[in-house]
């Protein structure tokens, strides 16, 4: 009897230890599987026509990175702004004037997050790729249809002549296509649309009606009088007053927007001498009228090349402002100028003087003479000194062509 009880107790003890061991193994297995599932998301298996397909784990298949988020949000917002600009243009055509609504700081920062400089360099390289002869006519014809290009004015109308997009953008015109006005002292340096013009007031310049930018931020610190042959200004004078060199004169400005379909070269607007070049690296945001109405000091944010000198009435400057896909700004007589570099310091600029011991006068330019070119449409800003009786012969928003009169005395 005692032996039977002993055997039953041993069997019960064995069953209990076996259950404990099984529970321990199950617990360990669950822990291990939990850790594996936490570290590596499960893959999914699908069957299609008796074939098995395995998808990658979710974490490996799609992994968000900050750069992707910035590009997606910035690009999406830029597209939204393009749509808003289109609606504004349609309302303007109907004669409806809208109140100015400026972008906030975060909107400007978001727009700047789009890698427009990188995109512009990629676009520049794409423009240099030689197109097959059979592909040139369809590609250029699409561009002509989209932007309303008048090829009858081109020196070479045959589309097969242009080996790449860059040559097509920089096409020359027939000599008689743009007669230069000889009766007025200042002519339009390019084809385009007049965004704004008038006198500079309180050191502020209007990029479009109601939206201004700082004159000093745009041109940078005043250039030495040795380069420009100007008289010394009084220390207490404002930046605007320092630029005016003759008593009784005023400072004037004119902003011309070049659309993608316009003639891309720009010329000298008057007889003057270029003494100095200042290059501001910067952003390459769009400069179309809708964006110019939206972002305050847009031209001060963007990359630009400022040419300064003097004409018969005093100070004269021409500034070529870069834009999206227009990182390349070329000045024909300035071989040292290189724009849209991969790296630059924010707020920096570099100066170059054309006045030297061998050349005391700088670079003389005749009215209508070739001065430079853009890779695509952009903006030209003229800021110059003239007597008080100088009059513009313009209307805001009008289309103008190179060689036509801007104003005269």
Cα separation, 325 vs 379, whole angstroms: 13
Residues in the chain: 409
Give the model's pLDDT for residue 102: 85
70: part of which helix (H) or strand (E)? helix 66-93
Pairing label, strands 192-199, 304-311: unpaired
Q: Single out the residue of 312, 267, 322, 378 nearest to residue 121, CA to CA.
A: 322
Query: Read out DSSP for 142-170?
Result: HHHHHHT--GGGBS---GGG--SHHHHHT
Q: Is residue 214 part of a domain?
A: yes
Q: Which of 78, 73, 146 is nearest to 283 (CA)?
A: 78
- Cα–Cα distance for residue pair 276/347, rounded to 1 Å: 19
Q: CA torsion sign, 318 to 321 to 326 to 331? A: positive
For 239, left (φ over 0), alpha (ψ -120 to 50), or beta?
alpha
pLDDT digits (tens, 9 = 90+) for 275-299: 999 999 988 888 888 888 888 888 9
Spans in the chain with pLDDT lower than 50 = 5-6, 13-14, 18-20, 22, 24-41, 43, 45-56, 58-62, 67, 70, 229, 231
DSSP state for residue 177 in the 8-state scheme: G
Give the E-state strand segments of 4-113 in sequence order: 45-48, 51-54
Q: Quick one: pLDDT at residue 321?
A: 92
Tens of pLDDT along 301-340? Answer: 889 999 999 999 999 999 999 888 766 789 999 989 988 8
CB neighbour class for 376 (10 Å; exposed up to 12, middle 13-18, buried from 19):
buried
For residue 121, the model assigns a pLDDT of 81
What's the pLDDT score for residue 103?
Answer: 85
Q: Where are the alpha helices (DSSP H) in 229-272?
A: 239-243
Angle, vertex CA 35, rays to CA 31 and CA 41, nearest 5: 135
d(CA 133, CA 154): 19
Q: Say how far apart CA 46 and CA 55 lie, in whole Å.
A: 8
pLDDT of residue 327: 60
**Distance between CA atoms of 108 and 295, rounded to whole angstroms?**
7
- Give the residues across from 193 on adjacent strands: 257, 399
92 Cα distance to chain centroid: 24
73: nearest Cα among 115, 102, 105, 103: 115
Helix/strand/coil for 325? coil
In a domain, 139, yes or no: no
In a domain, 81, yes or no: no
- The DSSP 8-state label assigned to residue 118 in this structure reads H
Distance between CA 268 and CA 221 in Å, rounded?
24
**Does residue 98 lie within any of the structural domains?**
no
- Provide the annotated active-site residues: 191, 267, 378
Q: Is residue 357 part of a domain?
A: yes
State CA 239 to chain mean position distance.
27
Identify the domain containing residue 374 by its residue range. Answer: 186-222+238-408
In a domain? residue 89: no
Contact between residue 186 and residue 197 where contact means Cβ atoms under 8 Å apart: no
In a domain? residue 12: no
Number of compact structural domains in the chain = 1
Asked if 355 contacts 372 with a C-beta cutoff of 8 angstroms, the reply is no
Q: Is 4 domain-assigned?
A: no
């Amino acid at each position: 009897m005692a032996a039977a009880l002993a055997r039953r107790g041993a069997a019960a003890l064995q069953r209990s230890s076996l259950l404990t061991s099984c529970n321990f193994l199950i617990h360990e297995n669950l822990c291990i599987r939990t850790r594996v599932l936490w570290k590596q998301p499960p893959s999914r298996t699908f069957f299609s026509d008796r074939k098995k397909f395995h998808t990658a784990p979710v974490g490996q298949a799609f992994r968000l990175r900050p750069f992707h988020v910035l590009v997606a949000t910035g690009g999406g917002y830029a597209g939204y702004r393009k749509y808003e600009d289109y609606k504004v243009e349609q309302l303007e055509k109907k004669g409806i004037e809208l109140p100015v609504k400026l972008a906030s700081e975060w909107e400007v920062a978001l727009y700047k997050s789009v890698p427009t400089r990188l995109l512009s360099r990629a676009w520049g390289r794409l423009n240099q790729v030689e197109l097959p002869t059979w592909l040139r006519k369809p590609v250029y014809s699409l561009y002509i249809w989209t932007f309303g290009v008048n090829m009858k004015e081109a020196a070479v109308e045959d589309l097969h002549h242009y080996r790449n997009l860059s040559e097509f953008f920089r096409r020359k015109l027939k000599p008689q296509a743009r007669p230069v006005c000889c009766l007025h002292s200042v002519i339009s340096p390019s084809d385009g649309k007049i965004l704004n013009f008038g006198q500079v007031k309180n050191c502020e310049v209007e990029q479009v009606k109601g939206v201004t930018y700082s004159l000093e931020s745009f041109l940078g610190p005043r250039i030495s009088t040795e380069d420009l042959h100007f008289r010394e200004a009084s220390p207490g004078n404002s930046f605007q007053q320092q630029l005016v060199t003759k008593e009784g004169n005023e400072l004037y400005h004119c902003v011309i927007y070049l659309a993608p379909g316009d003639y891309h070269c720009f010329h000298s607007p008057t007889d003057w001498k270029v003494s100095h070049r200042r290059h501001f690296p910067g952003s390459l945001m769009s400069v179309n009228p809708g964006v110019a109405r939206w972002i305050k000091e847009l031209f001060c944010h963007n990359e630009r090349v400022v040419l300064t000198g003097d004409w018969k009435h005093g100070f004269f400057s021409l500034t070529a402002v870069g834009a999206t896909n227009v990182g390349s700004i070329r000045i024909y007589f300035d071989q040292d100028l290189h724009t849209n570099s991969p790296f630059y310091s924010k707020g920096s600029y570099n100066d170059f003087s054309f006045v030297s011991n061998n050349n005391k006068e700088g670079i003389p330019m005749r009215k209508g003479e070739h001065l430079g070119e853009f890779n695509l449409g952009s903006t030209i800003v003229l800021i110059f000194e003239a007597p008080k009786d100088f009059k513009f012969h313009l209307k805001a928003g009008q289309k103008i062509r190179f060689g036509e009169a801007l104003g005269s005395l």
